[in-house]
Amino acid sequence: MPATNFLIVSTVGNPKHPGLPKLTWTQVKLMHRSGIDFYSHTFDSHAYAYVRPEGKTHDRLEPMLMGPEHNKTTGHVETEQEYIRRVKGDLTRADQILRNEIGNRRDILAFPYGGYTQQVLGLCRNLGIQVVFTVKPGIDGPGQYMGYRVNAGGMDNNPIALVESMKHAESLRGYSKAG
């Protein structure tokens, strides 16, 4: 069964990253050779931060791609230019590393926590990112830019229920290969 995994690229093989041990590049390469695809879940933007989302007048705790970051410790608020440079730098770095490590030729992104703005979508298009995913569940059709996803990454996920939900969704789309 084909699968896709979205990596927070800075965590791969990084023993200093907090939490459970993450995949190593050796493991990623082995799984990639067996048919599993790996794409970007950003380089290191999978976090919440105080940001000022588009059209808002006050800072809110949001996924950090959502707007200029306000560092509450230093008081610094990113300028629009700093924000754009941060987002473009993060997304570009993740895709370059994935290209170097496993030879990715497609740039695909799953937004951390599903958080994005129209400005971020524009940046993604300008960077050549071909497909983006939110956290909305579903099965995709051909040619979609904004994709659905089946989130299989939870530690409490029931694998049998997950497979059954994918089979059900597949049959609704007419893609079932079962006889």
Task: Give the CATH number of the domain where residue 35 resides.
Answer: 3.20.20.370
Decide if 178 is inside a domain: no
Decide if 105 is inside a domain: yes
- pLDDT on residue 157: 76
Q: What total of structural domains would you count in the chain?
A: 1
| CB crowding 60-76: b at 16 or more within 10 Å, else e | eebbbbbbbbbeeeeee
Distance CA 127, CA 168 (A): 35
Mean pLDDT of the chain: 87
pLDDT in tens, 86-132: 999 999 999 999 999 999 989 999 999 999 999 999 999 999 999 99
- At residue 53 the predicted structure's pLDDT band, cuts being 50, 70 and 90, is low
The most confident of the ranges 34-48, 60-74, 159-173 is: 34-48
Domain that includes residue 13, residue range: 4-135
Decide if 50 is inside a domain: yes
Decide if 15 is inside a domain: yes
pLDDT in tens, 135-175: 887 777 788 899 887 766 666 778 888 788 777 766 655 54
Decide if 101 is inside a domain: yes
Decide if 117 is inside a domain: yes
Decide if 98 is inside a domain: yes
0.85 cut: is pTM over it?
Answer: no
Decide if 149 is inside a domain: no
Q: What are phi and psi of 72, to 5 degrees?
A: -70, -25
Task: Taking residues 77-93, report their average pLDDT.
Answer: 96
Partner residues linked to 154 by β-bridges? none
